[in-house]
Amino acid sequence: MALAHDVMEHLDAQVIIVGAGLSGLQAARILSKAGITNIVLEARSRPGGKCLSVPNSHGGGIADLGAEWTNDTTHPRVFALIHELDLEVERVRLDGKAVLEDLDGNVIVHPYGTQAPLPDGEERLIDQMRTVFASHYDCVDLKIPYQGTEANDDITLEQFTLRLGGTRSTLASVGVWTRVMLGCEPSELSAAYFFLYCKSQGGLMKMRSGTTQGTYCSIKTGAQSLAHGLCDLLDPGTVRLSTPVKSISDRFHSVEVRSASGEIFRARKCIVALATPLYAKVRFEPPLRKEKAEYAASTRLGRYTKILLTYQRPWWRETGLSGASQSFIGPMSATRDTSDPSTELYRITGFIAGLQAERFTELTSVEQKEMVLDQLSRLFSADMAKNPTDFVVLEWACEEWSGGCPCPFTPPGVLFSKGKYLKEPHGNVHFAGTETAEEWIGYMEGALSSGSRVAAEILSLLYNETRV
């Protein structure tokens, strides 16, 4: 699909894509299939963005340090890619009981997938809170999520909860939701954004479910296999690693992308597949529209730390536990059994997020390990918890080209006033990323969806230009 302007100016490709996460790679793959040449520039030394899979240091199998879980019915794009790449899927073990650590440090054992009983019957208030939340996110229009959000966008989720009569335990439960889902505190994000996030994933119960309703599948070779597989489907040399982008200049008939090393790439269009807070690392010429720049600058990435604890045997199962837990006091807000019996790998994965993650980063590695092992021993009433064969920590907020995870959220006063500018193109520069998706924001499915959407935008424009 040659353009008339190509004759006047040499282009390295028809499209330059900034970011080799799933959204950028999905866009590249779709454009390539349509015959559109493209180059993908990635700052990291690896593809995948927040998908990071590494071999276990003890024993076989793969450890997912970033994105991990999916669903075989609600994530059609992920599973279509899994099948295309001939990848194997492991289903999370759902047997056994779960535990909840309340604000007083009491450990409550309860059936997996149910609300734990709390003092004074407060679990009923939490159930009521879920119902009220559902009535609000059911009203969200995912195509225009910023409309009709003014009232809920003026307050934080914490304020919203307290206005409904939320107690300490209710607020603590909401805190677990926001930490695990977005890496932040209820006092940090807009209530309206939380409802949008819930709606995009089919509702709070589906999101928080560890059963087949939620994200209960993982990829045996790791989630990063999706990124590696997409790279393999592209022409050799398409993806340029260790190439951070310094500036993007729109020249009307072309776009000039300059790397930090000074290398220049020219194309007809550009796709920015970065998390919105990372736009600040790139100089846009001309500058982004004021409202779009303000939206991006206002978004925040969660503080999120993932902990992987490997053991010689699944000792928690011996007492009828599933390995799933929630804690109101931390440092881990939640844990999950992520074992792979086929490789005799027995593992608990824990999540430290929000203010707990911020405090956790200030500790020494010895203090971090001691704190986590003490909590796990307390949760599961087992000294075996203190003897892992491997202990791995990844603090995503410390990753230079991530800045946190899973995806950006907005504080009060941003979504309603500036949300419509999130996906808006900037001349020949278009934008992707899981936060721009209409479904499954923050998940791999959302990333693939956004890549498909932006590729369709580009194809439509290039097709129309050739007809002029």
Q: Residue positions in the annotated binding site? A: 23, 42-43, 245, 351, 435
Answer yes or no: are the C-beta atoms of 173 and 126 closer than 8 Å. Answer: yes
Strand order in the sheet with 334-337: 107-111, 97-101, 321-327, 334-337, 346-353, 304-311, 390-395
Helix (H, G, I), strand (E, B) or coil at 188: coil
Binding-site annotation: residue ranges for substrate: 351
301: its two tokens: 């990435």
CA distances from residue 36 to 211, 427, 433, 456, 457 in whole angstroms, order as listed = 41, 19, 20, 12, 13
Amino acid at 257: V
d(CA 98, CA 131): 23
Answer yes or no: are the C-beta atoms of 241 and 45 closer than 8 Å. Answer: yes
Whether a cis peptide bond, with omega within 30° of 0, leads into 406 is: yes
Q: Dihedral of CA 458/45/308/126: which sign?
A: negative
Please name which of 200, 195, 193 lies closest in space to residue 409, comparing C-alpha atoms. Answer: 193
Please name which of 402, 444, 130 lies closest in space to residue 277, comparing C-alpha atoms. Answer: 402
Residue 190: how many other CB atoms lie within 10 Å: 26
Instruction: Give the bridge partners for 240, in sequence order.
Output: 41
d(CA 446, CA 4): 35
Binding-site annotation: residue ranges for FAD: 23, 42-43, 245, 435
d(CA 91, CA 93): 6
d(CA 423, CA 183): 23
